[in-house]
Structure 1
């Protein structure tokens, strides 16, 4: 059984918990998720099953869309509502809607983020949250991320909801804290839901109740999307029968006359996904496979 399950992850479960549960339901060990969601966060978590596990890194690399709530006046050590309060400030005067929108706009585009101490980013082979639990502070690596779009959804006196479309590696918690700072207040992320990952959205996601019902009817395979659904952000090179066998055997190929716009890209014959190729890093006159799909 190969394909992608668009799971709506419930709150209270880790992403790994979801993988373990799917392994039991789909009766296979070949299961992997495509981007961690914290236990207190719900939303779209694409789960790759069978041969689809080969595309996990490519699906992880897609755009993500979140609905987040920014809470002003309180900063926490984890940058979310679960952490210990570090600073409090009364929000005596609520920022105007216009000032909030202007601050949000200043974060749109390519920006630099410092990941939170309570995160899985590794420094010297050790995860940051491990240092944090030992009350140690280390220098955190800055990273470039992209905010493709950010908009204000609704606003209260000391909190507001935002919709964010961003690149992989974006910490929405940190974004909320930085937005608060620009507005002149300590802040944290008080709520978060992921509504889209690549082509997988809230509309085409299913929860565990639906999956369990399908398993009882032996219809769980009907819930899986084809592997190409997780790769539709990549361009396609179509090949004929002559090249089909070479691709299946994982051979390097001459650079095509019309090069796909993305690198890497899918290689397809008669609507069947054969492989993912990229331009050879050492020989620009060739393309080489990085994933080959058999069967």
Structure 2
């Protein structure tokens, strides 16, 4: 049985579910999950959990993610990205001053309310929003509270006079549940134009960078050579947590899910190991540590 993490590069025109399906065939492992869906038109980091590491899926889902994207001002679409049908247009007759763009980005930084795209997997009354959209049925979409930690312009705005549109390239660090498509639309609203997301890449997720990713083709080649070096140990997810090697008595307490009194420790979270293997993540509260994540069966 394989256990570990794969920082996978998900290509465009492929669903996250299809990536998991391919990996199950390549690894001959059923217990595989991903830590945050990427739309088919989006490429980049898709963190995959294999075997016992699937316990980390919900934990990693809550981590911040970083994207590089492009908003196209002048046209809105049904899906809020480039794959949808045009539903609104307003020509951009002249270049938008960069100062106005920067002000709009600043106004969208911090706590933010979003309404998920109609073409999305969010469920209302047991049905996905995209099911309502395809059936041409009205449904009230729920608001969600997210947070934009950082939203930066990464190159000068590109005004295209012939098409009467303006392209804004940005980088955003955001909380779980953020729709970057919707953020592009909100940016357009701030600047007075319909807009959609014309390009998007996730460059960081679950603590892994784009440069650390491996492709499905590279994994297939490794498996053909009977190598699993693409599979990272579970401990890779918690590189900055102080490590505490448990005594035999403390290990027994951890197995029973008990709180620990560790007077020499002050860190908010600890990585607890037994015989050199990470077994649990404990969080500090009221001078004690309680179990936040249990990894008792992992062998890496």
Q: Same fold (TM over 0.5)?
A: yes
Decide whether the 8 Å contact of 2:280 with 2:291 is kept in 1. no
Alignment partner, residue 292 of structure 1: 295
CA-to-partner distance for each residue in 1:124-172, whole Å, 9 max, x for gaps? 2222111111212322222221111111112211111101111111000
Paired with 1:126 and 1:231, the residues of 2 have a C-alpha distance of 36
Residues 83, 225 of structure 1: alpha-carbon distance in 2 compared, 3 angstrom cutoff: same
Structure 2 unaligned segments of length 5 or more: list them: 160-165
Whether 1:240 aligns to 2:247 is yes
Alignment partner, residue 182 of structure 2: 174
CA-to-partner distance for each residue in 1:225-244, whole Å, 9 max, x for gaps? 11122244767665333211
Alignment partner, residue 214 of structure 2: 206
Once the two structures are overlaid, the 10-residue window that deviates more, 134-143 or 83-92, is: 134-143
Residue 278 of structure 2: which of 247, 253, 273 is its match? 273
Paired with 1:31 and 1:55, the residues of 2 have a C-alpha distance of 11
Decide whether the 8 Å contact of 1:236 with 1:260 is kept in 2. no
Residues 137, 250 of structure 1: alpha-carbon distance in 2 compared, 3 angstrom cutoff: farther
Decide whether the 8 Å contact of 2:268 with 2:284 is kept in 1. no
Alignment partner, residue 72 of structure 2: 71
Give the count of matched residue pairs: 289
Decide whether the 8 Å contact of 1:278 with 1:287 is kept in 2. yes
Residue 216 of structure 1: which of 208, 216, 224 is its match? 224
Paired with 2:276 and 2:170, the residues of 1 have a C-alpha distance of 39
CA-to-partner distance for each residue in 1:209-253, whole Å, 9 max, x for gaps? 21121111111x101111122244767665333211332x33323
Paired with 1:234 and 1:134, the residues of 2 have a C-alpha distance of 48
After TM superposition, give the deviation of residue 96 of structure 1 in Å.
1.1
Whether 1:193 aligns to 2:201 is yes
Alignment partner, residue 90 of structure 1: 91
After TM superposition, give the deviation of residue 256 of structure 1 in Å.
4.3
CA-to-partner distance for each residue in 1:186-230, whole Å, 9 max, x for gaps? 0000111111103211111111221121111111x1011111222
Alignment partner, residue 234 of structure 2: 227
Decide whether the 8 Å contact of 1:62 with 1:233 is kept in 2. no
TM score, norm. by length of structure 1: 0.90
Paired with 2:11 and 2:289, the residues of 1 have a C-alpha distance of 45
Paired with 1:272 and 1:175, the residues of 2 have a C-alpha distance of 41
Structure 1 unaligned segments of length 5 or more: list them: none
After TM superposition, give the deviation of residue 34 of structure 1 in Å.
0.8
